Amino acid sequence: MMKLPRYVLYDILRSKIIIAYTLFLFIVSLSMFQMEEDSSKAMLSLMNIILIVLPLVSLIFTTIHYYNSYEFIELMLSQPLSRKRILLSEFAGVALSLLSSFMIGVGIPVLLYSASETGFALLFTGASLTLVFTSIAFLASVISRDKAKGIGFALLLWFYFTLIYDGLVLLILFSFSDYPLEKFTLLLSALNPVDLGRIFIMLKMDVSALMGYTGALYKDFFGSGAGLLYTIGIMTLWIIIPLWIAVRKFNKKDL
Amino acid sequence: MIRIENINKRFKKLKALDNISASFEKGQVISLIGPNGSGKTTLIKSILGMVKPDSGKIYFNNEHINGGFSYRKDIGYMPQIGRYPDNMKVGQLFSMLKNIRNEPDENLDNELIREFNLCTIFEKPMRTLSGGTRQKVSAAIAFLFNPSVLILDEPTAGLDPLSSEILKEKIIREKGKGKLILITSHILSDLDELTTHVMYIQEGKIQFLKNIETLREDTGEIKLGKAIARIMKGEDPTGNFISEFLK
């Protein structure tokens, strides 16, 4: 069963981009911890970088990889292999390589300097976001046949999740500021994995004390076991649903 | 062996396959001919499950393929344009396929690898290969697992005369073993010595599917090329040439 992902992985490792990415993450994380005396401050900066860079790299890398391995997919399709298995193998290969990049590049420095609850929250969020955006990128690339369109679509999704969505949430909060929105914003956080990840990490940090009443409510929720389950559950849905739609689309596609 | 029932396929405005029905049996060598864009490759890809027809059914050994995949182990496919992972070396490509298929070595057919002398380029990455060499690799892969059905899309296009001859001889040998072979080609002289049946497609419709002997008798031409030319020029192609296989 692991035969196909192994070939995908082998192909990815040879391109060396993934090694550069690992090094980049490693140097950034290490320098954050070196520059800041206070490791929790370093964690905050590291979090901001991760929440921007990780989704972007996962999306772009996955889409480019998908289009570059079109020949491989075509070749495999003439063999007695199911389409589902081919696509899931591609996913497994890409996800595994991005995940190990993150675990080496960020995981090692974090464990060295700040192996706290916050540190683990950061690693969990980073790993989930990598998988979520790999899954979303697969959907984007299966949908469009054209490479430029696929990458454009992936970029648009990145803008949406990291910039546009926050703007929309702020707009809603301002327009309805007369109403109690605490529970509602909790729901809104589920609709964007990046936001969910940010809240999840922030609440493990001291800065959450500055967030007022909403912060207290969040802390109450995310600090509990239910909050952890909620985060894991929502992240898992964000991984599975796009991938599942991608497999369905891929099954019906003409190649 | 392969039975196609009323398949239709439309690509946006273009009707690529228009209600095609046909039946191919063991031991036949079927030449699919028709103008460019007449739907030959789409038909082949439908049989392979790469293109999903809008309607109609395809049976392989009396089993409806219906999105399945295991039937493909009995099909060797040589694509028109062989596209392979660029970074992979030729040798790796073969070992990967063998690894995935998991066939014991004694079932493999390495004849073409030997005859095309592909061992000498095993260390070359796929991206450095010329079009003709790529064709040779494609051909060797198609025959590698000793499949009972061979589907060859323009097999001799781009091959030098010597290699083309090697491939033709190989096809004749496989035909002798009672395999079903589907070939598309525009080089009709290549098909002359191979084919047992001719299927002529135009604008997604089968114009006729008939035995080569009958075709020769009907047109009074020995050469396939001339016979086809006569039909294309002449009478309403659907009128006189409705195949005995489509009854």
ipTM value = 0.84
pLDDT at B245: 43
pLDDT digits (tens, 9 = 90+) for B54-70: 999 999 998 888 878 88
Handedness of CA A88, A16, A157, A95 (dihedral sign): positive
Q: Which residues contact A216 (CB under 8 A, 6 or more apart)?
A: none
Check: pTM over 0.80? Answer yes or no: yes
Residues B87, A4: C-beta atoms closer than 8 Å = no
pLDDT digits (tens, 9 = 90+) for A210-225: 666 667 777 778 777 8
Q: In what order do the strands lie in the sheet with B205-211?
A: B75-78, B149-153, B180-184, B29-33, B197-202, B205-211
Alpha helices in A78-191 (DSSP H): 83-102, 108-113, 117-143, 147-159, 165-175, 182-190
Name residue, tokens 């191919």.
B24
Q: How far is B213 from chain A (nearest CA, A)?
A: 33
Fill in the DSSP letter of residue A211: G
B2-246: CATH, from 3.40.50.720, 3.40.1480.10, 3.40.50.300, 3.20.20.70:
3.40.50.300
Proportion of chain B above pLDDT 70, given as a percent:
94
Residue-wise pLDDT for A164-214, tens only, equals: 998 898 898 888 888 887 778 778 888 999 989 988 888 888 776 666 666
Residue with tokens 């289009």: A67
**Which of B204, B234, B231 is CA-nearest to residue B215?**
B231
CA distances from A228 to A92, A163, A240, B60 (A): 25, 25, 18, 51
Contacts of A11 in chain B (CB under 8 A): 85, 87-88
* Chain A residues within an 8 Å CB radius of B71: 80
pLDDT class of A86 with cuts at 50, 70, 90: very high
Name the CA dihedral angle for B167, B173, B177, B178, rounded to a multiple of 10 degrees: 60
What are the residue boundaries of the structural domains of chain B, listed by start?
A: 2-246
Nearest to B199 by CA among B40, B36, B56: B40
Pick the residue of B14, B100, B129 with the most A CBs within 10 A to test the interface with A by mutation: B100
Q: What angle do CA A66, A72, A74 make, to 5 degrees?
A: 100
